[in-house]
């Protein structure tokens, strides 16, 4: 089963295959699909012909999951298609990071792009990183922060660069979720912080 949030329709789309969507591996289940309202979890539409129609048992199971997602995300759907930024350590004075390999100043502050994980609710890296080794080096002894700013391009290692950076919150890494949570904030405070006006322009 694969699930994706579709912001233009405000639905959760379920597909029957187990392989990642970009693997293009098809089996008897992979063409079966259904969409559920992201606010209520109610069924919106589903495949109707023999190859695309989910079984009743499958549809019931998907709907149960969709209702869980709706409870988690129904009042904060913007979070599911926003890009957030994580900065390790303090914002450098002057608003420009230094590339440690070359000693040159970047055109802005180096950050990592991140998104929310649909299943866990944690903030996770979106995959556009320069490699796990670089991440481990940079993050080894620095506190992660959620930040906002204006995207001005990519740095020497392909990382996003921001100007006019503001720290929104301190983050804590949760190994069980394999992602970050806002440090010291309960769920309601987290929702307010992330979806508030100060974070409404997070994009690449």
Q: What is the pLDDT of residues 153-192, one digit of tens each?
A: 999 888 899 999 999 999 988 889 888 899 865 443 444 3
In this predicted structure, what is the pLDDT of residue 102? 86
Pairing between strand 160-174 and 109-110?
antiparallel
**pTM of the predicted protein model:** 0.77
CB 179 within 8 A of CB 61: no
Q: Does residue 198 register a pLDDT over 50?
A: no
CB atoms within 10 A of CB 54: 20
Q: Yes or no: say if 101 and 156 are a contact pair by the CB < 8 Å rule.
A: yes
Q: Within 10 Å of residue 117's Cβ, how many Cβ atoms?
A: 15
Write out pLDDT tens, residues 10-55: 999 999 976 555 555 556 677 999 999 999 999 999 999 998 999 9
- pLDDT for the residue 125: 86
As to burial, measured by CB atoms within 10 angstroms (0-12 exposed, 13-18 middle, 19+ buried), residue 139 is: middle
Confidence band, pLDDT 50/70/90 cuts, at residue 105: very high
Domains in the chain: boundaries: 2-74, 78-199
């Amino acid at each position: 089963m694969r699930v994706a949030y579709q912001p233009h329709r405000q639905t959760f789309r379920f597909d029957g295959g187990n392989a990642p969507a970009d693997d293009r591996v098809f089996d008897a289940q992979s063409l079966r699909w259904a969409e559920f309202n992201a606010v209520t979890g109610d069924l919106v539409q589903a495949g109707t012909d023999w190859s695309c129609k989910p079984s009743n048992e499958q549809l019931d199971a998907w709907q149960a999951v969709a209702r869980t997602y709706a409870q988690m995300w129904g009042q904060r759907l913007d979070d599911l298609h926003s890009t957030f930024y994580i900065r390790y350590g303090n914002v450098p004075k002057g608003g420009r990071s230094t590339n440690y390999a070359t000693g040159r100043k970047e055109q802005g502050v180096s950050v990592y792009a991140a998104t929310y994980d649909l299943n866990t609710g944690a903030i996770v890296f979106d995959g556009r990183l320069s490699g796990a080794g670089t991440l481990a080096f940079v993050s080894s002894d620095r506190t992660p922060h959620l930040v906002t700013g204006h995207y001005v391009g990519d740095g020497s290692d392909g990382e996003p660069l921001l100007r006019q950076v503001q720290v929104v919150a301190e983050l804590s890494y949760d190994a069980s979720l394999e992602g970050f949570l806002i440090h010291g904030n309960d769920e309601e405070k987290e929702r307010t912080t992330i979806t508030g006006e100060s974070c409404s322009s997070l994009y690449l």
